[in-house]
Amino acid sequence: MVTEVGRYREGIDPTSEPAAPDAHAVGAVVDRFYAAFEARDLDAMSDIWAHGDDASCTHPGWATLHGWGAIAASWFGIFDQSDPMQVFTTDVRVRVDGDTAWVTLDENLLGAGSDPAGTTVAALKVLRRIDGDWKVTAHHGSVVVGHPDE
């Protein structure tokens, strides 16, 4: 569910108003990202990533991985080694500019194990429209350990 495309449509970026359908398409790809994550489905994850050398992925605490090969290997390892997790996304904010989009959101992880149950991961993604389909070309996630007000 794209929870916060509404923020986008309500005019955070009024110049992009006509692109609201694109924002929904981008949000749907983000949803598929987390469905693939929950299902540990590498094919589904592969389907929504750009496969070029310039794709990048920064898992929480990791160095940035470059290129789909390294990124795919990382997902394989994560799917193979981690406990099943549910992810509820909140505060999803989609911005679209032509064939590029970027999204901020929070991943709220509920794990079967003790860790990382209850963890919140802040994420920034960049997507590109390639041959008509939105693909994730950059993903950066990091665990929220504190808030500036705390």
Integer CA distances (angstroms), 111 to 69, 89, 105, in order: 27, 14, 19
**Residue number with CB closer to a second copy (12 or 110):** 12
Give the three-class secondary structure for 149: coil
Select 48 or 141, whichever has its Cβ closest to a second copy: 141
Residue 95 lies near a second copy (rule: CB under 8 A): yes
Pairing of strands 100-111, 119-130: antiparallel
- Residue 93 engages a second copy in binding (rule: CB under 8 A): yes
Instruction: Give the interface segment with a second copy, choosing from 22-30, 31-39, 111-119, 132-140 (CB under 8 A).
Output: 132-140
Residue of 18, 21, 43, 61 interacting with a second copy (CB under 8 A): 61
Minimum Å gap between C-beta 108 and a second copy is: 12
From 38, 64, 112, 117, residue interacting with a second copy (rule: CB under 8 A) = 64
Residues that bind a second copy (CB under 8 A): 12-13, 52-54, 56, 58-66, 73-74, 77, 91, 93, 95, 97-100, 102, 104, 106, 120, 122-124, 126, 128, 137-138, 140-148
